[in-house]
Amino acid sequence: MEKKRFADGKRFSIIEVATATGLSRVTLSKILNQKGYGTGTDTIDRLCQYFGCKVEELMEHLPDEAE
């Protein structure tokens, strides 16, 4: 999100991303705020298309602390 914000030279809101991607505000809020929130590949695909990025630029795997 930061790269797109910088590239576009503006801030954007969850509502703007929701409108542009067709994803719900609730889904986007959970992705941003709930550690370990699981989402489908369609959601990830839409976000990658919107941000113009690859999956690995959008998310990363963080192992559980117990591992």
| Residue 17 included in any domain | yes
CATH number at residue 25: 1.10.260
Alpha carbon 24 to its chain centroid, in Å, reads 12
Q: Which tokens hold the place of 25?
A: 């505000």
| Residue 21 included in any domain | yes
Q: Which tens digits make up the pLDDT trace of 7-61?
A: 666 677 889 899 999 999 999 999 888 877 888 999 999 999 988 888 888 887 7
Domain span holding position 16 = 2-54
| Residue 10 included in any domain | yes
Q: What's the pTM?
A: 0.74
Closest alpha carbon to 59 in 44, 46, 42: 44
| Residue 38 included in any domain | yes
Q: Which tokens hold the place of 52?
A: 């113009």
